Amino acid sequence: MNAGDVTAMLPLAATWALAFLVIGVDVALPGRDRLSSGLATIGAVVVMGITAVIAPQAPQQAFGGAYVLDQLTILLDLLFLSIAVLTLLFAPDYLLPRQLPLAEFSATLLFAISGAMLLSGARDLLVLFLGLELLVLPGYLLAGFAKRDGLSTEGAIKYFLLGSFSSAIFLFGLALVWGFTGTTNVSGVASALQGVAAGRPLAPGLAMGLALLMTGVAFKIAAVPFHYWTPDAYQGSPTPVTGYLSVGPKVAAFALILRLFVGALAPLRADWVGAVVVLAALTMTLGNLVALTQSNVKRMLAYSSIAHTGYILVGLAAYAGAAPGSVAEAHGLQAILVYSVAYTFMNLGAFAIVAALQRRPGVTSDLETFSGLGRRAPLMGLLMTLFLLSLTGIPPLAGFFAKYYVILAAIEAGGAISWLAVLAVLNAAAAAFYYLRVVVYMYMREAPGEAPPLARGFELRAGLAIAAFATLAIGFFPSGLITLAEAAAKALL
């Protein structure tokens, strides 16, 4: 192993070391949950610092190019570590009153994040699959973390079963592509497929492999009609876990899509762009339509997350439908990254408010729970309004800028892709109804007589401050994020 290998693997190795350190501290000092959680949080921030420090040395390769630290890896690693920090900050106020082990939660979360980080830099089909499994296996544990809760167990079982099936489907697809191209290296696969792209039709084995890969990743991102596990898994999970599941595995799955479909299967994009267009249209439309009918805010945000998957898929469709080497092609990739970053902070912030309201065991996440929140907890009501307005796409918040970038990319791609831009605008208008309905309950309904005062710990306040600042900063000053997204997109093209 040379110096380049060490540099490339340093953030990932540091995350693994941190997870084992948290376990060691918990074994040596049992019952010191806040110590373990604080160590995990501070350690994740330190790993973010390490990633930022070594960023100028990118690109670096490890293990013969099977893993690469480039600008895309750096951006995604920083995003995944941010998700870990925010989730760790939001968790104690919810988990400790329910006597759920915070140290085990912290270590399991860090292992899941390390899987996402492995996906972000994988340049080999086998490494991609290993990263995917390292991501989802801890996710199953987190979904069923409240093991004495029947809903949590039910959601975790559904998540595990459908997740296992989808992983098997994905692996079969990888095997077929590997068999056809004779290599597992992403660049090698792309080179082998260059000649195939000119010949039509595709060989049956390769066409089947492409279909299986598309089906597998559609399950992972909860695209319609492969979304059925999402609402039950989200509603049954502890609310901080739901927040993590709504952003962590989703963004990681898009990292997988970028490395696989953009890196390896780009020569065949004329064959898979149609499937992406259909998935995008169905996902954002059905997600919003079902969210309109929900009276439970947690379940509404679950269906909302499905709709946001559709918006991100519009960026992928814009890339695939654009002319190779065009500006629209690059803008499609940038739109995926920009939307993923903006969505992370505003969605995690919204789930954090729900978790704060549910701090006392037995409190539900029904709309009635939010009645009068703007008067009995003005700051919490204001922050929830901020996150909901951003999710709606109201300017000048992060959500507006993210939607604008995705829609612009679709218009630039032209053709049938431009119709996705029209559909995205219509869906954003429909989404305003169910987001703003929560705001109406917070400010125009009387609080229930038995509503308890909201107690907020330091960690929750710090996490909400970070999420709110990022939501505002991305909307008002998007140039920094655009620069990072441009550099990351260049690493793929």
- Residue whose pair of structure tokens reads 């988990």 in the numeric block: 95
Peptide bond into 396 cis (omega under 30): yes
Q: How confident is the model at residue 17 (pLDDT cuts 50, 70, 90)?
A: very high
> Mean pLDDT highest for which of 233-242, 274-283, 373-382?
274-283
Provide the pLDDT for residue 409.
92
Look at residue 485 and give its three-state secondary structure.
helix
Examine residue 393 and state whether it is found in any structural domain, yes or no. Answer: yes
Select from 362, 424, 419, 375 the least CA-distant residue to 399: 424
- Lookup: tokens for 96: 């400790």
Q: What is the pLDDT of residue 244?
A: 92
18 domain-assigned: no
Q: Is 59 helix (H, G, I), strand (E, B) or coil?
A: coil
* 3-state SS, residue 62: strand
Q: What is the pLDDT of residue 405?
A: 92
d(CA 346, CA 388): 8
- Under the banding of pLDDT at 50, 70 and 90, the label for residue 239 is confident
Closest CA to 259 of 360, 117, 470, 423: 117
Half-sphere exposure of 424 (CA within 13 A, CB side): 32
Specify the pLDDT at position 355. Answer: 86
65-69, 215-219, 321-325, range with the lowest pLDDT: 321-325
Residue 305 counted as domain residue:
yes
Q: Tokens in use for 424?
A: 């995205």
Task: Evaluate whether residue 164 is within a structural domain.
Answer: no
Mean pLDDT of 348-359: 87
Give the list of residues 6+ apart from residue 3 with CB closer than 8 angstroms, or none.
none
Domain that holds residue 426: 267-493
Please tell me whether the overall predicted TM-score, pTM, comes out greater than 0.85 for this model.
yes
CA angle, 248 then 252 then 257, to 5°: 150
Confidence of residue 455 (pLDDT cuts 50, 70, 90): low
Rounded distance, CA 85 to CA 314, Å? 29
Q: Does the pLDDT of residue 217 top 60, yes or no?
A: yes
What sign results for the dihedral spanned by CA atoms 410, 302, 351, 17?
A: negative
**Residue 487 placed within a domain:** yes
Domains of the chain: total = 1
Helix residue ranges, H only, 200-238? 204-220, 229-236
Q: Is the pLDDT of residue 363 over 70?
A: no
Average pLDDT along the chain: 88
Note the pLDDT tens digit of each residue in 135-174: 999 999 998 888 777 778 888 888 888 888 889 999 999 9
Q: Are 67 and 8 in contact (CB under 8 A)?
A: yes
- Which of the pair, 155 or 410, is modelled with greater confidence? 410
CB 424 within 8 A of CB 284: yes
Confidence check: pLDDT of 452 > 60: no
171 located within any domain: no
Mean pLDDT of all residues in 290-318: 90
- pLDDT of 389: 94
Residue, of 373 and 18, whose pLDDT is higher:
18
pLDDT average, residue stretch 92-110: 88
Answer yes or no: is 162 within a domain. Answer: no
> Does residue 321 form part of some domain?
yes
Q: Give me the helices (H) in 201-326, please.
A: 204-220, 229-236, 239-257, 269-291, 297-321
pLDDT above 60 for 407: yes
Location of structure tokens 């902070």: 345
pLDDT over 70 for what percent of the chain?
96
